[in-house]
């Protein structure tokens, strides 16, 4: 079955880089996603990576995918107070045209001034 | 566009009561879903729909019913509320694009407490 795991908490000093890690179990994933949840709000898509890529960069965000180890990471450069949130990784698997999304437990990122 | 809207934002129920959580989207998305979010457990899929008239069960469907009579609306019904259903509920929608990534758009959530 599908299982997506993340550490629950991460604290980082303002200005440092944050690295949030995720492991998944289903090797047939098509896309992997990172969603951000700010306090009291729903989730918003931050970035995604197609399963045949190993890296994607988007401004301060770098996504690394290691398919062999089923490991996904999100690096946020120059972390700011506005980056405080819960970050969820999610894997999607296509099944007869339907896409099933499985979310991880979420990592709460706290920024230390 | 309003995006995905959910009502109510907060609700307190007594054990055994029933209620309906409303969800609507104005983006003409085919796919809609309901999740519950519990501490340390991430989001778990309750029910989903790939179009009007079509619904299916997710990971944790027991105690919940859904229907999809229109593309826009996807209400979630709690038949007889139990304290284990205390959670934050999120509705989401997305287009269905074969072979492409599908961004899910989330509503702001409904925080439900069952006493």
Alpha carbons A109 and A96: distance in angstroms, whole number: 36
Give me the pLDDT at residue A1, please: 46
Q: Is the peptide bond before B8 cis (omega within 30 degrees of 0)?
A: yes
Alpha carbons A67 and B40: distance in angstroms, whole number: 25
**Phi-psi bin for B16: left (phi > 0), alpha (psi -120 to 50), beta?**
left
CB of B50 less than 8 A from some CB of A: yes
Give me the pLDDT at residue A27, please: 76
Contact (CB<8Å) A42/B107: yes
Task: State mean pLDDT over B34-54.
Answer: 91
Quote the DSSP letter at residue A27.
T
Contact (CB<8Å) B96/A99: yes
Give me the pLDDT at residue B33, please: 94
Reading chain A (113 residues) residue by residue, the pLDDT tens digits are 458 999 999 999 999 999 999 999 887 778 899 999 998 889 999 999 998 899 999 999 999 999 999 999 999 999 999 999 999 999 887 766 566 788 999 999 999 98
Q: What is the mean pLDDT of chain B?
A: 93
Give me the pLDDT at residue B96, please: 75
CB of A48 less than 8 A from some CB of B: yes
Give me the pLDDT at residue B90, please: 96
CB of A97 less than 8 A from some CB of B: yes
Long-range contacts of B61-65 (CB under 8 A, 24+ apart): B64/B34
Structure tokens at A81: 């107070």
CB of B23 less than 8 A from some CB of A: no
Cα→Cα distances A66→A16, A50, A61, Å: 23, 12, 17
B chain contacts of residue A43, beta-carbon cutoff 8 Å = 43, 90, 92, 104, 106
CB of B39 less than 8 A from some CB of A: no
Residues 6+ apart with CB under 8 A from A82: none
| Alpha-carbon dihedral angle through residues B45, A70, B104, A82, given to the nearest 10 degrees | 110
More confidently predicted of B13 and A97: B13
Contact (CB<8Å) B41/A105: yes
Give me the pLDDT at residue B103, please: 86
> How far apart are the CA of A15 and the nearest CA of chain B, in angstroms?
27
Give me the pLDDT at residue A84, please: 96
CB of B61 less than 8 A from some CB of A: no
């Amino acid at each position: 079955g599908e299982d997506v795991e993340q550490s629950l908490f991460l604290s980082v000093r303002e200005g440092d880089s944050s690295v949030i890690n995720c492991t998944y179990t289903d090797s047939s994933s098509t896309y992997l996603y990172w969603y951000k949840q700010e306090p009291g709000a729903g989730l918003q898509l931050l970035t995604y990576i197609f399963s045949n890529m190993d890296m994607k960069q988007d401004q301060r965000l770098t996504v690394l995918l290691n398919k062999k180890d089923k490991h996904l990471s999100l690096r946020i450069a120059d972390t700011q107070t506005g980056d405080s949130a819960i970050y969820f990784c999610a894997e999607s698997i296509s099944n007869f045209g339907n896409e099933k999304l499985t979310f991880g437990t979420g990592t709460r990122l706290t920024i230390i001034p | 566009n309003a995006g995905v809207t959910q009502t109510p934002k907060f609700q307190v129920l007594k054990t055994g009561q029933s209620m309906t959580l409303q969800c609507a989207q104005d983006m003409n998305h085919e796919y809609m879903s309901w999740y519950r979010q519990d501490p340390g457990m991430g989001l778990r899929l309750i029910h989903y729909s790939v179009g009007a008239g079509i619904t299916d069960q997710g990971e944790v469907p027991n105690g919940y019913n859904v229907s999809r009579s229109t593309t826009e609306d996807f209400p979630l019904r709690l038949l007889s509320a139990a304290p284990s259903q205390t959670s934050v509920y999120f509705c989401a929608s997305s287009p269905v694009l074969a072979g492409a990534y599908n961004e899910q758009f989330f509503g702001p959530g409904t925080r439900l407490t069952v006493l």
